[in-house]
Amino acid sequence: MTDRLFIIINPSAKSGKALQVWGAVQKYLDAEGFAYEFALSKDENDVENLARNAAAQGRVLVAGVGGDGTLQRIAAGIAGTEAVLGIIPAGTGNDFARTLQIPLVPEAACAVLLHGRTVRLDLGTCNGKYFLNVLGTGLDAEVAAEANRRYKRFSGTLGYLLALVRQLFVYKPCPVQIKLDEGQVSADVWLVAVANGCYYGGGMKVAPDANPQDGLADVIVVTRISRLKFLRLFPRVYSGRHVTHPAVKVFRSSVVEITAGKNLAVQTDGEITGSTPFTVKMEHHAIALRVAAE
């Protein structure tokens, strides 16, 4: 592979453990004799700026060492260019890497980066801002905020579960209106997930049939049920079997508009980025990405 490689490292990802991953990446690339340039991001906005500048300077492959939030910002920076996104998972959840079957072991992820194939994937926009994996509102956004605030030091699944336990006893289902390509849905909901990828929350298969190449978002709506029933339903999300429950509705749409009876927080790729109302639009094959060779 002769692509010009630029690597952006988020040193704060996974409470600083991304730097350990970066050390393993450097050793692998140096052993392979592969030339690369890199930069440590200063903050969240810096990631997108670094990616945009790298693409403008002709770097063909722009890789991120970080989590889903880091990848989201790199994607926003290179969307609409010829640059290809590469993934070295080093975050708390690494959920988009799971969807694409990118290895979580740094050396194996590097092998994909150097020797994999390039495919085109969809991007979502929420009120004009890009997201790569899953957007959510309702309980899951409150849990994401809680996990980022209190439990960032834990692994993706454990941190999410601890935050869920706290939020489950204070959050109340809220009425929402959802406009889709083929109609409108109104319901009291625990949460709505708008998914490009399959996983979120550190391994939860929230949208088991999501396809990030079909131009459509999978919209997962968990309608009002008792807290006890919700707790019984919850373990099924890890296998994707929750979608067979009568309280869970699944739709597909290229445009999704959501309004709510009150301001609900919105998370995109695990980070709080706004509140209702919002409009999601899927951009078909908007970005190139490196995945494992067939």
* pLDDT tens string 170-185: 899 999 999 999 999 9
The answer to the question of residue 125 being in a domain is no
Does 293 fall in a domain?
no
> Looking at the domain assignment, is residue 211 inside a domain?
yes
Q: Which domain covers residue 48, as residue numbers? A: 5-115
Percent of the chain with pLDDT over 70: 96
Same domain, 135 and 280: yes
Does one domain contain both 102 and 224? no
Q: In terms of domains, do 100 and 137 share one?
A: no
Q: How confident is the model at residue 52 (pLDDT cuts 50, 70, 90)?
A: very high
Same domain, 138 and 108: no
Question: What CATH number is associated with residue 87?
Answer: 3.40.50.10330
- Same domain membership, residue 97 and residue 177: no
Identify the pLDDT of residue 175: 98
Which pLDDT does position 152 carry in this prediction?
63
Same domain, residue pair 19 and 164: no
Q: Is the pLDDT of residue 222 over 90?
A: yes
What is the mean pLDDT of the segment spanning 57-65?
A: 93
Q: pTM for this structure?
A: 0.91
Q: How confident is the model at residue 1 (pLDDT cuts 50, 70, 90)?
A: very low
Q: Let me know if residue 21 belongs to a domain.
A: yes
Query: For residue 151, what pLDDT is reported?
Result: 64
| Least confident span in 116-125, 163-172, 185-194 | 163-172
Question: Do the domain assignments include residue 289?
Answer: no
- Residue 266 and residue 275 in contact, taking contact as beta carbons nearer than 8 Å: yes
User: In terms of domains, do 62 and 162 share one?
Assistant: no
Looking at every residue in the chain, the average pLDDT score rounds to 92
Question: How many structural domains compose the chain?
Answer: 2
Q: Is residue 92 part of a domain?
A: yes
Same domain, 82 and 154: no
Whole-number pLDDT of residue 59: 84
* pLDDT 10s digits, 126-166: 988 999 999 999 998 988 888 777 666 665 567 777 878 88
Task: Examine the pLDDT at 2 and tell me if it is beyond 60.
Answer: no
What's the pLDDT at 41?
A: 94
pLDDT of residue 155: 57
What share of the chain has pLDDT > 90, as a percent?
Answer: 78
Between 61-65, 139-143, 223-227, the lowest mean confidence (pLDDT) is in 139-143
Residue 237 lies in a domain: yes
Longest dimension (CA), the chain: 58
Average pLDDT over residues 66-93: 94
List pLDDT tens digits, range 227-274. 999 999 999 999 999 999 999 999 999 999 999 999 999 999 888 899
For residues 194 and 77, state if they share a domain: no
Whether residue 244 is contained in a domain is answered as yes
| Mean per-residue pLDDT, 101-116 | 96
